[in-house]
A and B are shown apart, each in its own frame.
Chain A
């Protein structure tokens, strides 16, 4: 079955540690996205990538980093510079870029808690 996988589902880290969240898709989609969701709020864009080896900052990129070495994979690193990293992180993909907007397919999310 095609889809997006994110791992792990739950992640606990100590303050000051970097942590990398995995996102893999086998939908052959060009574009991938990372969002953050806090309780009672909408999704906020962290980073997105339209093609391999290229990515752009979203609205809240500070304290995060990404890479896009393969079409299928778009890992997100939450660095110690992120002031309030505890949140629900969602990865998404679309067949083409955001200007040709069709349905965004979402992974199941990773719930990160920083202790």
Chain B
């Protein structure tokens, strides 16, 4: 089993739709969780951190479920500009960069 797994997609949804991705992780001791957005042939950029209580930033909502070891990202009222690859990142919490694990990403395509 991979340490961090994501559905690669692509998710192809119409503009205005709501879409959700999950990301599962295997290390139950993981301490911090993030969603990054990566546009084609560009560097990843932080979209949101994921907190235990869940957090929302505009149209984006992130949730953490420690019992089932997954995090989720919900995008409401999707825009064409949301088309990108979304990377899940899990940090094992040790003082080692080797414990920062990136998922392989979920591709999202928003159609007009």
Residues of A in contact with B (beta carbons under 8 Å apart): 31, 33, 35, 40-45, 48, 56, 58-59, 88, 90, 97-99, 101, 103-104, 106-109, 111
Interface check B100, CB cutoff 8 A:
yes
| Number of residues of chain B lying within 8 A (CB) of chain A | 27
**B34 vs chain A, min Cβ distance (A):** 8
Q: Mark B25-57, 1 if CB is under 8 A from A, else 0.
A: 000000110100000011111100100000000
Residues on A with beta carbons closer than 8 Å to the beta carbon of B103: 42
The CA of A108 and the CA of B44, in the complex, are separated in Å by 9
Residues on A with beta carbons closer than 8 Å to the beta carbon of B105: 40, 42
A38 nearest in chain B by CB position: B104
A98/B91 in contact, CB under 8 A: yes
Residues on B with beta carbons closer than 8 Å to the beta carbon of A44: 102
Residues on A with beta carbons closer than 8 Å to the beta carbon of B32: 101
A108 interface neighbour in B43, B93, B94, B98, Cβ under 8 Å: B43
B104/A99 in contact, CB under 8 A: no
Please give me the 4 A-B residue pairs with the lowest Cβ-Cβ distance, nearest first.
Answer: A99-B95, A42-B102, A106-B43, A98-B97
